[in-house]
Amino acid sequence: MDFDLIITNGLLATASDIAPLDVAIKAGKISLLAPHGVLDTSKAAKVIDAEGAYVTPGGIDTHVHLEEPPLFGGKGRSSDTFETGTRSAICGGTTTIVAFAPQAKYMPSLLEVLKDCHSRAAGNCYADYSFHMLVGSPNPTALSEFPQLVQEGITSLKIYMTYEALQLRDDQILDVLYTSRAHGITTMIHAENGDVLNWMTRKLEERQLFAPVYHATSRPQIVETEATNRAIALAELMDAPILIVHVSSPSAAKHIRESQTRGLPVYAETCPQYLFLTRADMAKTGDHGFEGAKCVCSPPPRDGVEDHEGIWLGLRNGTFTVLSSDHCPFMYEDKEKGKKSILSPEHPVGRFAGIPNGIPGIETRLPLTMSANKLPMTKFVEVTATNAAKLYGLYPRKGAVLPGVSDADLVIWYPEGRIKEGVTNGMLHHNVDYTPFEGREVTNWPRYTVLRGEVVWDRDGDGLVGRKGYGEFVRRGKSSLPGPRGEEEFDVSKF
């Protein structure tokens, strides 16, 4: 046989083009692209008829929390393991994830943290995977390990401007940016002003306002906007490339766009929760006033449709480089490690300040975004796969369909008009007892997911057909998007 698989009759959509092309796959790689009818399908071990539907590169989700300890308020622990999280990923069309390797404040070494994460993930993943370091303590040992991280294929890290367990002072942020820049690492920044939101929280609690919706009240847009502006200023000072993660607010997006217009290497990410959820979801009063906890995440979903429109615009006009899930899963009912770990007789509707921050969304990211029909197809591919590959050093092995070069990671969708249904938690494959997107209508879903040439999701056949352990660690290179201006323009001796 010349090929392992041929996908016929589809509309191949990449970040640059849409064309009626058949795709031939051999040994896990894209082998040939050809106009419909040219390839001899009898020369393939398997043929899939894509019936005039889109075929896109496999989704790349570069913001995923799996098997993490309590970090994000209260006692919440991620309910998804590498196994269940990556299982859910492939069933929603995502073939590569980048999860976090979290360093707590008391841990000196990042390399030790990375080793632990490798041991949790190895042999357990359904999707290909990598890690971003999550730097809770930029101590001298940790900073000295940056070159080794790059050698190990880890070329990005995340830092926080909030959360007791993680918040860095501005001078610590400068340490990270300075060292990252020197070694070609991209710094991801969670931009919320922790001191301000703690003050807001104290004031709300003094007034006995504890319900989940006050999580949003404690973090108005200005909390995110100020921190975003400060993060950009610190990065400009260090001439360091940054990505502002999970941007929720159109006013933060304006600062980002302005810095991009000035030519700074500032990138940004948004997530489906800022396109589909609002404060009203956190104000839901079911379950004795606690139901809104299902949508508590940080930054919080904003007020309404105008905010959503601002974020969609930022996706269309390039302000946002990537659309990730920020899959940060906690069980709702679990009273030890889940959202309900904050319920007590004294606080029967909990205390918003102790609700674990985060929501699941790894499986719904692509179908919800595709179904919204608000992005041109090429833009959809760009922000859900190709840009992530470029920014995080996976391109063109991932996020592209280049013969002889790219892994055969693909999603085959349904032809238009075939699907119209509401999302239910029962149809998802994560280890979470709810989805914040329950009931949202979708008009498409990955019909097949293909990872390195193997069908791993066959929605109309046996469903999940991938194997735990088939997912591989992917060693990443440096970002191929524009980086610092260069030594001649950045003279550190001036400090």
Residue ranges of alpha helices (H) inside 20-169 are 82-91, 110-121, 140-144, 146-151
Shortest distance, position 163 Cβ to ligand DUC, whole Å: 7
- Give which of ligand DUC, Zn ion, none residue 143 binds (C-beta under 5 to 8 Å, depending on kind): none
- Give which of ligand DUC, Zn ion, none residue 268 binds (C-beta under 5 to 8 Å, depending on kind): none
**Binding pattern to Zn ion, positions 207-226, x when CB under 5 A?**
--------------------
Cβ nearer to ligand DUC, comparing 68 with 83? 68
Euclidean distance between the first and final Cα of the chain, in Å?
A: 63
Is 358 an interacting residue with respect to ligand DUC (CB under 6 A)?
yes
Cβ nearer to ligand DUC, comparing 298 with 449? 298
Shortest distance, position 490 Cβ to Zn ion, whole Å: 28
Interatomic CA distance for residues 99 and 108, integer angstroms: 20
Question: Helices H, strands E: what count in the chain?
Answer: 16, 20
- Give which of Zn ion, ligand DUC, none residue 291 binds (C-beta under 5 to 8 Å, depending on kind): none
- Give which of Zn ion, ligand DUC, none residue 332 binds (C-beta under 5 to 8 Å, depending on kind): none
Cβ nearer to ligand DUC, comparing 246 with 308? 246
Best CA proximity match to 344, nearest among 5, 75, 50: 75
Shortest distance, position 326 Cβ to ligand DUC, whole Å: 5
Q: Are 67 and 444 in contact (CB under 8 A)?
A: no
Interatomic CA distance for residues 373 and 451, integer angstroms: 25
- Give which of Zn ion, ligand DUC, none residue 175 binds (C-beta under 5 to 8 Å, depending on kind): none
Is 30 an interacting residue with respect to ligand DUC (CB under 6 A)?
no
Helix (H, G, I), strand (E, B) or coil at 294: helix
- Give which of ligand DUC, Zn ion, none residue 72 binds (C-beta under 5 to 8 Å, depending on kind): ligand DUC
Shortest distance, position 76 Cβ to Zn ion, whole Å: 12
**Binding pattern to ligand DUC, positions 312-351, x when CB under 6 A?**
--------------x-x-----------------------
Interatomic CA distance for residues 132 and 150, integer angstroms: 11
Interatomic CA distance for residues 495 and 492, integer angstroms: 6
Best CA proximity match to 332, nearest among 294, 287, 283, 298: 294
N residues, the chain = 495
Residue 207 neighbours by CB under 8 Å, 6+ apart: none
**Binding pattern to ligand DUC, positions 178-197, x when CB under 6 A?**
------------x-------
Of positions 103, 186, 201, 357, contacts ligand DUC by CB under 6 A: 357
Question: And the tokens for 251?
Answer: 């006013």
DSSP state of 52: T
3-state secondary structure 198-217: HHHHHHHHHCCCCCCCHHHH
Cβ nearer to ligand DUC, comparing 164 with 416? 164
Is 298 an interacting residue with respect to ligand DUC (CB under 6 A)?
yes
Subset of residues 59 to 98 that bind ligand DUC, contact rule: CB under 6 A: 65, 72
Interatomic CA distance for residues 456 and 466, integer angstroms: 4
Q: Are 312 and 275 in contact (CB under 8 A)?
A: yes
Number of residues that bind Zn ion (CB under 5 A): 3
- Give which of Zn ion, ligand DUC, none residue 302 binds (C-beta under 5 to 8 Å, depending on kind): none
- Give which of ligand DUC, Zn ion, none residue 357 binds (C-beta under 5 to 8 Å, depending on kind): ligand DUC
**Binding pattern to Zn ion, positions 271-310, x when CB under 5 A?**
----------------------------------------
Interatomic CA distance for residues 468 and 38, integer angstroms: 36
Subset of residues 304 to 333 that bind Zn ion, contact rule: CB under 5 A: 326, 328
Is 131 an interacting residue with respect to ligand DUC (CB under 6 A)?
no
Of positions 26, 77, 190, 397, contacts Zn ion by CB under 5 A: 190
Interatomic CA distance for residues 291 and 119, integer angstroms: 36
DSSP state of 131: E
**Angle between helices 305-316 and 250-261 in degrees, nearest 10:** 20
* Cα dist from 363 to 68, 128, 368, 405, whole Å: 19, 15, 9, 27
Residue 171 neighbours by CB under 8 Å, 6+ apart: none
Shortest distance, position 337 Cβ to ligand DUC, whole Å: 15
Cβ nearer to ligand DUC, comparing 341 with 357? 357
Number of residues that bind ligand DUC (CB under 6 A): 10
Interacting residues toward ligand DUC by CB under 6 A: 65, 72, 190, 245-246, 298, 326, 328, 357-358
Residues that bind Zn ion (CB under 5 A): 190, 326, 328
